[in-house]
Amino acid sequence: MTRGSEDYWDHPWRWSAVARALVPSMFHIRVKPTSLWTEWADDGCARASTRFGWQEMLAELVGWFLGRDLGAPVPDAAILFPGRADAAWLSAYIPHPIHWEAHHAHFVTNLDAFGAMLALDAIIHNHDRHKMNILLTPGAEEPELDAWAIDTGAALVGFPADFAAADLAVPEKPNIARGLPVRLMEPGARRAARRAVELVESPALQHQVAGACRLVGEQESNILFSALSKRMKQATRLVERYIEVVGAIS
Taking the C-alpha atoms of residue 199 and residue 164, their distance in angstroms, rounded to an integer, is 19
The 3-state DSSP class for residue 78 equals strand
Q: Is 44 left (phi over 0), alpha (psi -120 to 50) or beta?
A: left
Task: State which of 57, 76, 91 marks the end of a domain.
Answer: 91
Q: What is the CATH number of the domain that holds 105?
A: 1.10.1070
One domain, residues 86 and 207: no
If asked whether residues 80 and 111 sit together in one domain, one would say: no
Mean pLDDT of 191-220: 94
Among 91, 116, 133, identify where a domain stops. Answer: 91
Please state the pTM of the whole predicted model.
Answer: 0.83
Looking at 68, 91, 114, which one is the last position of a domain?
A: 91
Specify the pLDDT at position 239.
Answer: 98
> What is d(CA 70, CA 191) in angstroms, rounded to the nearest whole number?
9
What is the DSSP pairing of strand 134-138 with strand 98-99? antiparallel
Banded model confidence at residue 164, pLDDT cuts 50, 70, 90: very high
Instruction: For residues 229 and 200, state if they share a domain.
Output: yes
Identify which of 14, 57, 12 has the alpha carbon closest to the alpha carbon of residue 151: 57
- Domain enclosing residue 245, as ranges: 98-249
Q: Which of 12-26, 58-72, 75-89, 162-176 is least confident?
A: 12-26
Strands 134-138 and 145-149: antiparallel
Q: How many domains does the chain have?
A: 2
17 and 119 inside one domain: no
